[in-house]
Amino acid sequence: MAAVLESAVEESRIWKLESDIAVLKSDVAHVQSDITEMKTDIRDIRKDIGVLRGDVAALRDEMHTGLGGQGDEMHTGFADLRGEMRTGFAALRDEMHAGDASLRSEMHTGFAALREEMHAGDGSLRKDMQTGFATLRDEMHAGDSSLHDNIEKLRNETQLSFSRLEKEIVRRSLSDRIWMFSFAAGLVTVMAHGFKWI
């Protein structure tokens, strides 16, 4: 009985292994098919790369040819532009020199006229200032004499006020003394009556 069970187990294992081997073979076949497709794609990519290299080479040649022609045109254009700029700068320099000479002449004429006007104005201003200073000096002298009179008047009034104040103080002091003596006499009289002295 045991031998029969062992034989059945072995057959089951063998069958499972064969099934696994069949699955593996199927997977290997799929992988091989994928590899074949990848090789085909790689060949197509290499062909495309070859075509692109040819296009790049042709484009490079066209660019070199075009840049060479543009370089010649740019050199010619720069030469023409340089000549025009030199001519323009020369004409502008001549105009600036002519303008500077005219402006310098006008400035000299204007400064001369302004100098004469300033001299004439200085003379008139000097006369006006001298007249004004003389008038101000007279007014200051007249004001000084009036100020002296006012100060003297104020001094006299101040002295008079002080003398009146001094007299008033003396009068009030005498009145206060008389009042104090009267008060003391009355107080002594009251005390004497109180103690039967009189």
**Rounded to the nearest 5°, which phi and psi values hold at 197?**
-80, -25
Q: Is the dihedral of CA 177, 179, 185, 191 positive or negative?
A: negative
Measured between alpha carbons, how far is residue 115 from residues 73, 76, 129 in Å? 61, 58, 20
Which of 38-52, 77-91, 125-139 is the least confident region?
125-139
Cα separation, 137 vs 165, in Å, equals 41
* Residue 72 near residue 79, CB atoms below 8 Å: no
Q: How far are the Cα atoms of 47, 49, 56, 69, 198 from residue 60, in angstroms, in the given order?
A: 20, 16, 6, 14, 159
CA distance 48 to 70: 32
Please give the Cα distance from 198 to 189 (Å, whole number): 9
Q: Which pLDDT does position 198 carry in this prediction? A: 47
Mean pLDDT of all residues in 143-162: 76
Q: How confident is the model at residue 89 (pLDDT cuts 50, 70, 90)?
A: confident
Q: State the pLDDT at residue 192.
A: 64
197 Cβ neighbours under 8 A, 6+ residues apart:
191
Contacts of residue 189, defined as CB under 8 A and 6 or more positions apart, other chains included, come to 198
Dihedral of CA 152/154/160/163: which sign?
negative
Sequence-separated (6 or more) residues with CB below 8 Å from residue 198: 189, 192
Rounded CA gap, 11 and 42, in Å? 46
Of the pLDDT bands very low, low, confident and very high (cuts 50, 70, 90), residue 70 is low
More confident residue, 25 or 176: 25
pTM (2 d.p.): 0.28
* Length of the chain measured in residues: 198
pLDDT digits (tens, 9 = 90+) for 106-117: 877 877 777 777
- pLDDT, tens digit (0-9, with 9 covering 90-100), for 118-141: 777 667 777 777 787 777 787 777
- Which pLDDT does position 3 carry in this prediction? 63
